[in-house]
Amino acid sequence: MVEAAIEKGINCLAITDHNEVKGALEALEYTKGKPILIIPGIEIKSKEGDILALNIKEIIPNKLSAEETIKEIKEAGGLAIIPHPFGWLCSFKGDLEKIVKEIDGIEVLNASYFGGNKKALIFAKKYGLSFTAGSDAHFSSFAGKCYLEISGDNLSFEEATASSLTSAKASAIEKVLKKIKNREGKIGGSEANFFEKILGYIKRSFAKIKHYAGRKKRKI
């Protein structure tokens, strides 16, 4: 995924696996010395639906209420984002208006799921919410389908020395997240087409089956 992002000219990638931070931490280690920022995170399944935690390096438990999940995210120093809030089959089931002052933003463009993007954008504008856009890429070919463009020369870390690169990247991540909260990002890219979404869904389903089959085998 990292190599695909670099090849496509993407210089910042958020890794938010479901219920796990191992991949994000591996990506942080792998990209040392590479021209790309990794924002570590996790996608948590609250009782009301998925919640993204950005800039998180620890697992936050599933099946808490949305309010409890958001509290855990913020106590860990992360940003709480509601992804695909109105997507078909994956919408947020809770009362968004009730938690609108607690969350840090919502995803207004998701490349991989069916429906809901326009409604999410309208909702974000109505409540003055910060917003994100994501490819929801479970496969490298989907990386960069859509994105949030953050401008600013002060986000560059290419001239940092080897000894200061880690701190330079950490500073750049903080600036990116601040610009997201200040609604300074610009949405780019577009949704995958119908057939790409179907193919992605099939691949994702097989990957889940393989993953759970592997877990069951290891337990035996």
204 in a domain, yes or no? Answer: no
21 in a domain, yes or no? Answer: yes
User: What confidence score (pLDDT) does residue 217 get?
Assistant: 59
pLDDT band at 153 (very low <50, low <70, confident <90, very high): low
57 in a domain, yes or no? Answer: yes
**The model's pTM:** 0.89
7 in a domain, yes or no? Answer: yes
User: What confidence score (pLDDT) does residue 208 get?
Assistant: 74
Span 40-55, mean pLDDT? 97
HEC string for 165-201 = HHHHHHHHHHHHHHHHHCCCCEEEECCCCHHHHHHHH
Secondary structure of residue 28 in the 3-state scheme: helix
Number of domains in the chain: 1
Q: Give me the CATH number covering residue 52.
A: 3.20.20.140
Full domain range(s) for residue 135: 2-193
pLDDT tens per residue across span 55-99: 999 999 999 999 999 999 999 999 999 999 999 888 999 999 999
User: What confidence score (pLDDT) does residue 219 get?
Assistant: 55
145 in a domain, yes or no? Answer: yes
Cβ-proximal residues to 11 (8 Å cutoff; 6+ apart), any chain: 5, 35, 36, 37
pLDDT averaged over every residue in the chain = 89
pLDDT band at 209 (very low <50, low <70, confident <90, very high): confident
